[in-house]
């Protein structure tokens, strides 16, 4: 099967990290296509960045559909543009945030999230409510490292995230941790070993869920919320996005 993973920000180095993490867990015979839009924010930190990442994301999803991929993954922890992508695509669309939340809820009574900046917390809390999992998440924490500083050796990211993990264990009674950024994907195994609880990365979670949907022959329901958009005219620079 072939899985398209879209990093909705425009930083190619982060897309490579995401692709590497996905290929590490992909089953033999699963091909990973990791892409990012050419236009849009270099990182997504809050609602404004998120809004400007969605058109580029949807353009990549449309390309994946024309390639006939078996599934799409949105590799931004805010699950940016998830519902629009599900309306556009026939193949399943998995957000790394939703994927990680569900795995955490099946491994622990209470979990916590450690994301990048505090400004990203609100969107994650809103998604937890939307997915019906807010009651299982003790707290969404931030390590206060900007998205593009995660792979800077001087950012001390692993230690900073680790400190929040220890606070979540002791103060929030968290029994599992969800890493709240696609750029943290390669830290999960080391943090699990170091902190003695499941530390879950959404990229790997989404890849295995995509494979499961493929194996089960399950696709997005197109008879309700995610029905194809009604054909209509879009004016101006968005004309190419018009539903036909």
Chain residues binding ligand 5HY by CB under 6 A are 9, 43-45, 76-78, 115-116, 120, 147, 181-182
Nearest-approach distance from CB 100 to ligand 5HY, in angstroms: 11
Both structure tokens of 237 = 């620079």
Comparison of 89 and 145: residue with beta carbon closer to ligand 5HY = 145
Nearest-approach distance from CB 161 to ligand 5HY, in angstroms: 12
Comparison of 43 and 220: residue with beta carbon closer to ligand 5HY = 43
Comparison of 1 and 148: residue with beta carbon closer to ligand 5HY = 148
Nearest-approach distance from CB 125 to ligand 5HY, in angstroms: 12
Radius of gyration over every alpha carbon of the chain, rounded to an integer in angstroms:
17
Nearest-approach distance from CB 96 to ligand 5HY, in angstroms: 7
Contact, 159 vs 187, CB < 8 A? no
Comparison of 143 and 214: residue with beta carbon closer to ligand 5HY = 143
Comparison of 30 and 115: residue with beta carbon closer to ligand 5HY = 115
Q: CA 199, CA 174: separation in Å to the nearest integer?
A: 11
Label the pairing between strands 176-180 and 111-115. parallel
Nearest-approach distance from CB 224 to ligand 5HY, in angstroms: 28
Nearest-approach distance from CB 231 to ligand 5HY, in angstroms: 32
Name 227's bridge partners.
Answer: none
**Gap between the terminal Cα atoms of the chain:** 28
Comparison of 21 and 84: residue with beta carbon closer to ligand 5HY = 21
Smallest CA-to-CA distance from 79 within 130, 118, 150, 144 is with: 130
Contact, 183 vs 73, CB < 8 A? no
Q: CA 99, CA 206: separation in Å to the nearest integer?
A: 5
Cα separation values, 135 from 101, 103, 109, 128, 165, Å: 11, 15, 10, 8, 19
Element spanning 48, H or E:
helix 47-67
Nearest-approach distance from CB 28 to ligand 5HY, in angstroms: 27
Contact, 142 vs 113, CB < 8 A? no
Smallest CA-to-CA distance from 111 within 199, 33, 10 is with: 199
Comparison of 183 and 214: residue with beta carbon closer to ligand 5HY = 183
């Amino acid at each position: 099967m072939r899985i398209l993973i879209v990093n909705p920000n425009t930083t190619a180095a982060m897309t490579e990290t995401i692709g590497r993490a996905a290929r590490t867990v992909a089953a033999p015979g699963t091909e990973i296509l990791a892409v990012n839009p050419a236009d849009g924010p270099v990182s997504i930190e809050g609602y404004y960045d998120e809004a400007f990442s969605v058109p580029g994301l949807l353009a990549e999803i449309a390309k994946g559909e024309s390639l006939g991929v078996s599934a799409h993954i949105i590799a931004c922890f805010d699950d940016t543009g998830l519902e629009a992508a599900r309306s556009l695509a026939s193949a399943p669309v998995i957000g790394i945030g939703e994927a990680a939340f569900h795995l955490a809820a099946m491994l622990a009574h209470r979990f916590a999230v450690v994301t990048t900046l505090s400004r990203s917390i609100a969107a994650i809390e809103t998604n937890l409510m939307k997915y019906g999992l807010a009651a299982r998440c003790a707290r969404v924490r931030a390590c206060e490292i900007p998205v593009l500083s995660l792979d800077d050796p001087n950012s001390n990211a692993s230690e900073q995230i680790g400190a929040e993990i220890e606070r979540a264990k002791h103060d929030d009674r968290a029994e599992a941790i969800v890493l709240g950024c696609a750029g943290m994907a390669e830290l999960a195994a080391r943090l699990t070993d170091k902190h003695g609880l499941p530390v879950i990365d959404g990229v790997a979670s989404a890849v295995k869920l995509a494979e499961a949907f493929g194996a089960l022959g399950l696709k997005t329901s197109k008879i309700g919320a995610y029905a194809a958009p009604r054909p209509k005219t879009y004016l101006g620079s968005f004309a190419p996005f018009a539903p036909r």
